[in-house]
Structure 1
Amino acid sequence: MNQHFLKPMLPTLSENLPEGDNWVYEVKYDGFRCLLYWDAESIIMTSRNGHPLHHIFPEIATFLMNHKNNVSPYFPLLMDGELCVLDNPFKASFENIQKRGRLKSSEKIKQASSAFPSSFCAFDLLKVNGKSICNEPFLKRKQVLNKVCKEIGIPIQNVSLNSPFNYIPFTHDLNHIQETVVHHLSEGIVAKKTTSKWSASIRTSNWIKVKNLMIGTFFLLGVDTENGFFHVGVLKENSVTFIGLFAHGISDQEKEALIQIVKNNQSGQKGSLITIAPSICVELSYLEMYKNQLRQPRFLRFRFDVKWEDCTWENLQKNN
C-alpha cells in the first residue's frame, strides 16, 4: 500500500444542513474518493480503501506533470478530493466513473481517457513540502490549496469540464448553492466547519452531507423473505416493469404489516421472493436512476391516494 496513504475522514449524513458564520458549503460530487500524492518524480492516487487509481486514470497524472515546475516549491503534496467523470460543472456521472474503474486493458483505458475523460476535483490539502497541515483549520488548508491550484493555472471560481484537475470552491451562501444543486441534479452538498481539522479514519460531525434526493411513487411487486427487501415497479409502455428494491426507512411495524399483506394477497412465489399483483403504492426517495434502477431508495410513506396505474415511467421522469 502507498506509504503516503491516509484513510479519509468522512462526513456525517444528515437531512438538514447546519447554518452559521462558522460553516461553509461545497457541492458534493459522485465519484471515487481519492487521495493524490505528488512529488517531482511521481503521482500516486489511491482510493478510500488504499487501492491504486493512477494507472486507470492516466490523463490526470499526465496533466499535472506538465505543470510540475510551477508547483515544485510545494512538493511533496498530498491532496484530498473526488475522482470524477463530469456531466456538468456541478454533477459527476456515477455510471461513467464505474465503467472507467472496471477497466484493466491499457488500450481500453487509453480509449476511455479520451471518450470519458476524468477529473480530480480537489477539496482539501493535507501535506505541503511533505509536512502535515491536517491540524490547521479548514479555511487555512483551503487557502494553501487555492495557491497551489493557481500555480497549476486552473480556474478556482468554478469547476471546468475540460480540465483533468479542478479546485472545488466553497461558499457561505446556502440558498444559492441549494438552488444550484437542485438545478444541475448534483449529488448533494457538504457543509464544513471553518475551524475543522482533518483526522484520518473518522466520520466527523464537522463535515455534514445532505443528498439531493428525488422522490417518486411506485407500486409494490413483492418481498424477498430471505433479505427483507421489497421490490417495486412502474408502468412502462403499458408493461409492469421492475425498477428497484428498498428496505430502509420503513419502521419494523410497517414492515411486518406489509409482509403479511403480501403473503395474504400473493400472486406467486419464486424461491424466497413472494410476488403480488400491482395494487399497493409507496413513495420513495432516491439519489438517481442507474441502468433504469433506483440508486439508494428509501421508504417515505404509503400512497393510498394514488392508483397503481398512475405509477408510470413517464410520470417519474416528469416529476424529476
Structure 2
Amino acid sequence: MARKTTLKKPASSTKAANLFGIALDTPPMEARTAEALPQGEEWQYEPKWDGFRCLAFKDGSEVTLHAKSGKPLARYFPEITAMLAAIPVERFVIDGELVIETEGHLSFEALQMRLHPAESRIRKLSEATPARLVMFDMLLSPEGRSLIDLPLTERRDALEEFARRNARPRQLVLSPFTTDFAQAERWLSSSGDDATDGVIAKRRDGPYEAGSRAMFKVKRLRTADCVIGGFRYESDSAEVGSLLLGLYNAEGKLDHVGYTSTLSDEDRPALTKRLEALQAPPGFGGKAPGGPSRWSTARSAAWQPLRPELVVEVRFDQVTGQRFRHGTTLMRWRPDKDPRQCTFDQIAPPLAPDDIK
C-alpha cells in the first residue's frame, strides 16, 4: 500500500498543493550510464529519447512543465501547455520527454531554438515546429492517487489507461516498452537510421525514486567514416592535438562535422609529420570550422587545412544540426575507404517516436 506523501506547497497555487500529492519541484528519477543492458525478467526496456526531460503537472486549467533541473519550461512550449489544459481530466502528473520532429526525425537543435527570450519568436516556432510530449511514467493518477510508491508495472498500467483515453496523435504519445531483451538490443543497433538514441532499463517491481539514479541507460553509440579535412596543433606544442572531421554534402562539398582528439602520445609525432605533408587549402569546401571564441587562444583556434585524402572511422553518440554534439572516439584508420563515400547518410538522426516499432 502506497504511503501518503507530504506535499510541498507550490508558490503559485495552494489548490495545486492540496491536490497533487507531489511537490512541483519533485526531481525526476534518473539513470546511471551502463556499458550493457541488464538481463532478467525483472527488467523493462524503453527507448531513450533525444529531447528535454519534462515533468508535466495539471490541476484543473493550470498546467506547469518542469525540466530535469527544476526550471520551468511552460513558456517555451505553449502548444504543449494548451494541449494538456484541454484534456478532459482534472489532474495528473506525468513524466516524459519533450521532442520536436523535423522531416520525420527528432531534432535537438529545434528544441534548443525554443529557449528564446522573445515570446513572439517562441509562438512562431511552436506553430512551425510543434513539440510533442512522449509519456513514459505517471506519478499521480487522474483520480488524485499518488503512484510513486507503486511498482513500475502498476504505474505503467495507469499510464496506458490514461493514454488510451487521452493520447493525441503527434502531440501526446505513449513511449513503447518491451521486456524482450533481444528487442532492446535491436533498439541499440547501430545499423540504419531507425534506431533510438539509446535504451533505458527499469526494474518492473521498483517504485518511482525521485531524484535517484535508479535506472540504467545505455547510449546508442554509432560509427561513421569521416574525411580528415584539417587538424589543430596541441596548445603550446608542435604536435597534432585534434583531427577535424568532414562529410560530403549533397552538393559534393566537404562540410566540417566535428573533431576527435583521442590520439595516443606515442602516435602523435609520426601522425604530425603525415598530416603536415598533406597541408593544402581549402580543407573544407563547404562549412568550415569556426574562428576563435572567447575561450580559445590564438593557437588553439587556428586550424590547418588538408587535402581530403585520409579517412577514419569514429564513434559518436549524438548529432545536432548535422554536427557531432560531442567529441568523437577514433576507432581506426580506413585506407580502404574512398573519401567520396563519406556522406551524411551515415549520421541520420533517429526517427520520431510514432515510427518506432
TM range, smaller chain = 0.7 to 0.9
Q: What amino acid is aligned across from residue 34 of structure 2 in structure 1?
A: S
CA offsets 1:246-285 (integer angstroms, 9 cap, x no match): 34xx3xxx43234434544545996224636356543112
CA distance in 2, matches of 1:178, 1:201: 27
State how 1:210-229 maps to structure 2 within 5 Å. Answer: 210-211=219-220, 213-219=222-228, 221-223=230-232, 225-226=234-235, 229=242
Following superposition, the deviation at residue 36 of structure 1 comes to: 0.9
Secondary structure in 1 matching 2:76: coil
Kept in 2: contact 1:262–1:276 (CA 8 A): no
- Tell which structure's C-alpha radius of gyration is larger: 2
Structure 1 residues not aligned, in runs of 5+? none
Report the Cα distance in structure 1 between the residues aligned to 2:106 and 2:164, rounded to whole angstroms: 23
TM-score, length-scaled by structure 2: 0.70
The residue correspondences of 1:28-107 to structure 2 (distance < 5 A) are: 28-68=48-88, 71-72=89-90, 75=91, 77-87=92-102, 92-99=106-113, 101-107=114-120
Q: Which residue, out of 125, 141, 145, partners 2:138? A: 125
1:259-313 deviations in whole A, cap 9, x for unaligned?
4345445459962246363565431122454333223343142215346xx233x
Match of 1:165 in 2: 172
The residue that corresponds to 1:149 in the other structure is 163
* Deviation at residue 31 of structure 1 after TM alignment: 0.9
**Residue 186 and residue 304 in structure 1: after superposition, are their counterparts in 2 closer, same or farther (change >3 A)?**
closer
Give the letter for the 1:293 counterpart: R
The residue that corresponds to 2:129 in the other structure is 116
Structure with more of its chain in strand, by fraction? 1
The 2-side partners of 1:290 and 1:107 are apart by 24
Aligned to 2:153: 139
Does the aligned pair in 1 maintain the 2:51–2:111 contact within 8 Å? yes
2:315 is the alignment partner of 1:285: yes
Amino acid at match of 1:139: T
Secondary structure in structure 1 of the residue aligned to 2:178: coil
In the alignment, what sits opposite 2:343?
A: 316
The answer as to 2:199 corresponding to 1:189 is yes
**% same residue:** 22
Quick check: 58-67 or 270-279, which moved more? 270-279
The answer to whether the 8 A contact 2:221-2:315 is kept is no
Report whether the alignment pairs 1:271 with 2:299: yes
Residues 310 and 335, structure 2, Cα contact 8 Å, conserved in 1? no
Unaligned runs of 5+ in 2: 1-9, 12-22, 281-296, 348-357
Tell me how far apart the structure 2 counterparts of residues 104 and 274 of structure 1 sit (CA, whole Å): 34
Q: Matched residue of 1:114: which SS? A: helix
Alignment root-mean-square deviation, CA: 3.3
Whole-Å separation in 2 of the counterparts to 1:7 and 1:261: 50
**TM-score of the superposition, structure 1-length normalised?**
0.77
